[in-house]
A and B are shown apart, each in its own frame.
Chain A
Amino acid sequence: MNRTRLLLYIATMITGVIYIYMTWIFAPPEATLHELIRILFQHVAPALTAYLAFGVTLISSILYLWKSDIRYDLVSGASIKIGLLFTTITLLSGMQWAAATWGSPWNWDPRETTTLILWIAYACLLVYRASINDPEIRAQYGSLFGIIAFPAVILSYLSIHLWNTLHPVVITPIGLQMAVEHGMTLGISIIAIILLYIMILDITYRVDKVNEKLMEYRMNRS
């Protein structure tokens, strides 16, 4: 394991522990939501990280189409998987929160609906990529669809500004609409989950790369 990777893993673990401490012990209950405010720290960070993951997919897709380097496609594929993981976490934790505060887990709210559309778009892309054996064709079409799917991210992010919604606007141009302790915990949660994303991306990329080599070995053999 090289030095940078080791430092990344250690930093991820330390921020992870701080994140858990701040979420469950440091952050005080909120006046109206009481203890339910703790869901915020486990819902917003995965949502923002999912957007970041799909952003990485977009950039690596563009880079693949530009430079035709298969490594960019591997990054793109790995980032889709992790983006989908965090979108699933966001949807499920959001449903729990909605059930507790809005009375029903699913309300066809613009944010819920557009995030579901986002999930479906990238799930289709993942299935599509998995159905193609030829790495070149998979990379070409996968990159193309990796670019085409990205407006779903923008739509999901902007949905609370475009339509009337039940979803609260926490991050505004004038800052965070919450107590300082909650703002600090939210900040740490975002850093911790982003570091976790980078760590998982690194592992997934390496596993996918070894898998590519195995496929190549099999092809050469036959």
Chain B
Amino acid sequence: MQQTELFTVAMILWGGILIFLAYLLIRMNRIENAMKRLKIEDQE
């Protein structure tokens, strides 16, 4: 019983942090792609 609760709390803490870092990574990727697209369009 206690093992389940401990596992859930660890998942909440580290899962939450990892999800946030993944969100930042995805956002950064999107920004980079948008920048590249805009620059290519400007060059054309």
Q: Interface on A for B, CB 8 Å cutoff?
A: 34-36, 38-39, 42-43, 46, 81-82, 85, 88-89, 92-93, 96-97, 99-100, 196, 200, 203-204, 207, 210-211, 214, 217-218, 221
B31 and A43: CB pair below 8 A? no
A201 to chain B, nearest CB (A): 11
Q: Is the interface of A mostly helix, strand, loop or mixed?
A: helix
Given contacts A36-B6, A39-B5, A196-B17, contact A92 B12 (CB under 8 A): yes
Task: Choose among B1, B3, B28 the residue that contacts A207 (Cβ–Cβ < 8 A).
Answer: B28
A200 and B9: CB pair below 8 A? no
Say yes or no for B13: interface residue by CB 8 A criterion: yes
Extra contacts, 9 of them, besides A46-B13, A92-B16 (Cβ < 8 A), are A42-B10, A42-B13, A88-B16, A89-B13, A96-B12, A100-B5, A196-B17, A203-B24, A214-B35
A93 and B38: CB pair below 8 A? no
Give the 9 A-B CB pairs with smallest separation, nearest first: A35-B2, A92-B12, A93-B9, A42-B13, A89-B16, A39-B9, A100-B5, A85-B20, A96-B9
B8 and A214: CB pair below 8 A? no
Q: Is the interface of B mostly helix, strand, loop or mixed?
A: helix
List the B side residues contacting A221 at CB < 8 Å: 38, 42
Number of residue pairs across A and B with beta carbons under 8 Å? 68
Give 6 CB contacts A-B under 8 Å: A89-B16, A89-B17, A93-B9, A97-B9, A100-B5, A200-B24
Task: Choose among B8, B20, B35 the residue that contacts A200 (Cβ–Cβ < 8 A).
Answer: B20
Most buried by B among A34, A39, A204: A39
Which residue of A is nearest B1, CB measured?
A100
List the B side residues contacting A93 at CB < 8 Å: 9, 12-13
List the B side residues contacting A204 at CB < 8 Å: 24
For the complex, give the distance between the alpha carbons of A211 and B31 in Å: 6
B5 and A96: CB pair below 8 A? yes
A42 and B9: CB pair below 8 A? yes
Task: Choose among B9, B16, B27, B42 the residue that contacts A85 (Cβ–Cβ < 8 A).
Answer: B16
Most buried by A among B3, B6, B9, B35: B9
